C-alpha cells in the first residue's frame, strides 16, 4: 500500500534486520521500527507492534531466520530449538506463525542463508496470495454494496493487500461503488484505528460504527455482505478470528446476510479437526481497562476508561462454527466451509 507517496509492506527484512510498521502507533503516527535480534522481533509480535495472521507469520519467519544468523557454532542446535520455542510462544492462536517457523526451521538446517531465502519466500507468497484473494472476493461484491468488517484483515494484517479488505480494494479499483461499515473492534479498536486508517488512505468511503451497532444495521438491510479474516481455520471449517466475530456470524445468519471468511490456505490447520481444539489466547486486562488516544493538541495519552478497581477478562479470539460461514475466500478460489472442500483445497483426502 502507498503511504505518503511511497509503497510499503507491513514487515520486511534487510540483511539481518527486520523492519515493520509500528501498528501500536497508528493511526496517529506512522513509524517504522528496526529489530536487530530475533528476541526483539518476538517482543514485537507479542506486544502487537505487528499483528494479523499473515503479518505475524512473516514476522515469525524472519525472526526464525534471524535466529539462524545469530546462532553460535557451539550449542547451535539447542540455541535454535530454544529460539523456535520462544517465537512460537508469542501468539498461540495464529496458524500462520507455526507454518512459517516450521518452514524456515527446516530450511535453516541447510544453512542460515537458506533460512533467510525461505523467510522471504513466505512473505512474497503472503502478498501474492492476498492479491489473489482480492481477485476471487471481488466476484461476490456487486456495485453499490455496503460491506461489513470486523477487526483488521487488511494490508496491515498481512504483508500486503490483506484478506478481508483485499476484495474491497479490488472492487474499488475496478470501478465499483462500495461502502464499508467498520466495526470499532474493542478492546484494541483495530477496526477504528487500523481498518479505517487503511480505507482512508485508499480513498474508500466508510464509517466507523460501535461493535454493537451491526445487528441493527443488518436488520435494516443496510449491510449487503460481511467479510472477515481468520487466524486459524480447522479442518471442518470452524474459524478462529478476533473476539466478536461469532456474534456477527449469528446475526448475519438471522437476517440472511452472506458471511464470508477470507484467508490463505496456509491459515487452515489440517491437523486440527474442529474449533474446539484451537487454543484461544487470553491477553492482559489492561487492554480492556485502558485506551490510548490523542488530545486536541495532538499529545498522546493512555487513560483508564473503566471503573477503578474492577478487573477485566480479555479473550482475544472466538470460534465461529462452519455452519455459519457462507464460504471461505482463498487464493485458489472460494470454497465451502466443510471438511471435504477444505481437504480438496489442500490436496488431501477428507
Known catalytic residues are 231
- Measured between alpha carbons, how far is 58 from 238 in angstroms, rounded to an integer? 24
DSSP symbols for 302-335: EEE-S-TT-----B-EEEE-GGG-SEEEETTEEE
C-alpha cell recorded at residue 52: 494479523
Contacts of residue 65, Cβ cutoff 8 Å, sequence gap at least 6: 13, 104, 108, 112, 115, 116, 118, 119
Q: 103: cis peptide before it, omega within 30°?
A: no
Q: 80: cis peptide before it, omega within 30°?
A: no
Residue 318 to residues 242, 246, 321: CA-CA distances in angstroms?
6, 6, 10
- Measured between alpha carbons, how far is 171 from 191 in angstroms, rounded to an integer? 20
Buried residues in 234-269 as b, exposed as e (16+ CB within 10 A): bbbbbbbbbbbbbbbbebbbeeebebbbbbbbbbbb
Helix segments in 18-161, DSSP class H? 38-46, 53-70, 76-88, 95-108, 112-138
- Looking at the DSSP bridge assignments, the partners of residue 6 are 3
- Measured between alpha carbons, how far is 339 from 349 in angstroms, rounded to an integer? 9
Q: How far is CA 226 from the centre of its chain?
A: 16
What are the backbone dihedrals phi and psi of residue 45, each rounded to the nearest 5 degrees, phi first? Answer: -70, -45
**Inter-axis angle of helices 112-138 and 95-108, to 10 degrees?**
150
DSSP for residue 141 = P
68: helix, strand or coil: helix
Amino acid at each position: 500500500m502507498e503511504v505518503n507517496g511511497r509503497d510499503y509492506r507491513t514487515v520486511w527484512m534487510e540483511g539481518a534486520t527486520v523492519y515493520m510498521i509500528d501498528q501500536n502507533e497508528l493511526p496517529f503516527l506512522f513509524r517504522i521500527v528496526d529489530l536487530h535480534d530475533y528476541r526483539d522481533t518476538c517482543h514485537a509480535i507479542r506486544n502487537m507492534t505487528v499483528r494479523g495472521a499473515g503479518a505475524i507469520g512473516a514476522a515469525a519467519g524472519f525472526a526464525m531466520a534471524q535466529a539462524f544468523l545469530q546462532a553460535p557454532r557451539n550449542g547451535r542446535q539447542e540455541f535454535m530449538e530454544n529460539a523456535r520455542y520462544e517465537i512460537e510462544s508469542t501468539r498461540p492462536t495464529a496458524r500462520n506463525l507455526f507454518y512459517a517457523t516450521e518452514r524456515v526451521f527446516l530450511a535453516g538446517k541447510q544453512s542460515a542463508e537458506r533460512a533467510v531465502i525461505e523467510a522471504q519466500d513466505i512473505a512474497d507468497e503472503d502478498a501474492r496470495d492476498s492479491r489473489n484473494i482480492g481477485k476471487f472476493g471481488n466476484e461476490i461484491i456487486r456495485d453499490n454494496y455496503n460491506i461489513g468488517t470486523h477487526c483488521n484483515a487488511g494490508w496491515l494484517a498481512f504483508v500486503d493487500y490483506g484478506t478481508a479488505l483485499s476484495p474491497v480494494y479490488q472492487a474499488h479499483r475496478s470501478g465499483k461503488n462500495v461502502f464499508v461499515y467498520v466495526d470499532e473492534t474493542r478492546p484494541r479498536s483495530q477496526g477504528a484505528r487500523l481498518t479505517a486508517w487503511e480505507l482512508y488512505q485508499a480513498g474508500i468511503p466508510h464509517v466507523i460504527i460501535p461493535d454493537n451497532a451491526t445487528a441493527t444495521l443488518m436488520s435494516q438491510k443496510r449491510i449487503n455482505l460481511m467479510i472477515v479474516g481468520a487466524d486459524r481455520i480447522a479442518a471442518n471449517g470452524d474459524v478462529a478470528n478476533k473476539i466478536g466475530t461469532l456474534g456477527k456470524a449469528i446475526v448475519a445468519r438471522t437476517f440472511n446476510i452472506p458471511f464470508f471468511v477470507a484467508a490463505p490456505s496456509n491459515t487452515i490447520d489440517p491437523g486440527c479437526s474442529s474449533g474446539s481444539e484451537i487454543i484461544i489466547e487470553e491477553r492482559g486486562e489492561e487492554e480492556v481497562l485502558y485506551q490510548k488516544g490523542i488530545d486536541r493538541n495532538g499529545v498522546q495519552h493512555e487513560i483508564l476508561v473503566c471503573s477503578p478497581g474492577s478487573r477485566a477478562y480479555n479473550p482475544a479470539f472466538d470460534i465461529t462454527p462452519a455452519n455459519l460461514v457462507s464460504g471461505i475466500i482463498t487464493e485458489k478460489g472460494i470454497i465451502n466451509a466443510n471438511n471435504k472442500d477444505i481437504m480438496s483445497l489442500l490436496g488431501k483426502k477428507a
